[in-house]
A = this chain, B = another copy of it.
Amino acid sequence: MKFLALAGGVGGAKLALGLSRILPQSDLTIVVNTGDDEEFHGLHVSPDVDTVMYTLAGLSNPETGWGITGETFAALERLNAYGADTWFNLGDKDLATHIRRTDLLRQGKTLSEVTDSLRTALGVKHPIVPMSNDPVRTMLTTDLGELPMQTWFVRHRCEPAVSRIRFVGAEVSQPAPKFTRALQDSDVLVFCPSNPFVSVAPILAIPGVRDAIENFGGTRIAVSPIVGGQAIKGPAAKMMDELDIETSCVGVASQYKNLCDIFVLDDVDADRAGDIEALGMRAAVTNTMMFTDDNKVRLAKYICGLAA
């Protein structure tokens, strides 16, 4: 069975790692949100792509949730001394990724080609595909005005209340060719436990993607990033509250109506299974925590079991 996993940041990367441990590289395509790509110091940074890539390469820093473990920050300190805005943490090793990416993009390669080149060099065997080779930018309308995703997320620590989210450029973007192929060829589509509004929604905003998923030929499985009314990591719960969506796995599931056959919720939310099923999807209850690599593999196996 061929799997297509849609992923955003840390939660998505964790399940992608689990899936990559049990599926051969030919049977798993990981498509990653690029809505929060941003240029820092003239360098193209793809935060979600890098989180997935570093996680699969065994490089990611589990303590911070971003960047590479054992990083140094010599260049950033110096950039700060030069008067550059350095609120976005870029380690020295991480900078090499952005320098190389930017250089290859300027040479005319697509973001997909660049990502292939980078992940291969890091020893990652499974394809990691940016959702689009075209620029799509997630913009949040907040009480501080409209902010790009990373400005809101990192610079303002998710503090400004969010009232609206849009994906600038999405309407004229195309899915990356390998994403289109995976939508056609895959037997199982997995929504990783990523933020539905800023990790998954940008992917769905690419013309044709929502339709393709609504008409997907195989099994569509979503995993809730909200457990017991809390986001495992990140601002999903706060955002749902501000957007007036129930802060629960049911609120998440409501975002995947018509897009999902099986919705995976955590044991602690077992009592909400009926509400999930009322949305027209099957509820599957399990332990969704992914603290350790074993946890990740266990959840990945559970999902494979559901698909079979």
Contacts and interface: CB of A to CB of B under 8 A. Distances in A.
A84 B103 contact: yes
Tell me the number of copies of this protein: 2
A41 B100 contact: yes
A133 to B, nearest CB: 19
A81 interface: yes
A76 B103 contact: no
Contact of A84 (B81, B82, B100): B100
A172 interface: no
Interface stretch (A116-124, A223-231, A262-270): A116-124
26 contacts: A42-B99, A42-B102, A42-B103, A42-B106, A43-B99, A72-B74, A74-B74, A74-B93, A75-B75, A75-B92, A75-B93, A75-B95, A77-B93, A77-B96, A78-B93, A78-B96, A79-B100, A81-B121, A82-B96, A82-B117, A82-B118, A84-B100, A84-B103, A92-B95, A95-B99, A99-B99
Contacts of A102: 42
A83 interface: yes
Q: Among A75, A84, A100, which residue has the most Cβ atoms of chain B within 10 A?
A: A75
A290 to B, nearest CB: 27
A219 interface: no
A97 B75 CA distance: 8
B100 A82 contact: yes
Contacts of A92: 72, 74-75, 78, 92, 95
Given A42-B103, A77-B96, A81-B122, 6 more contacts: A41-B103, A75-B95, A75-B96, A77-B93, A82-B97, A84-B103
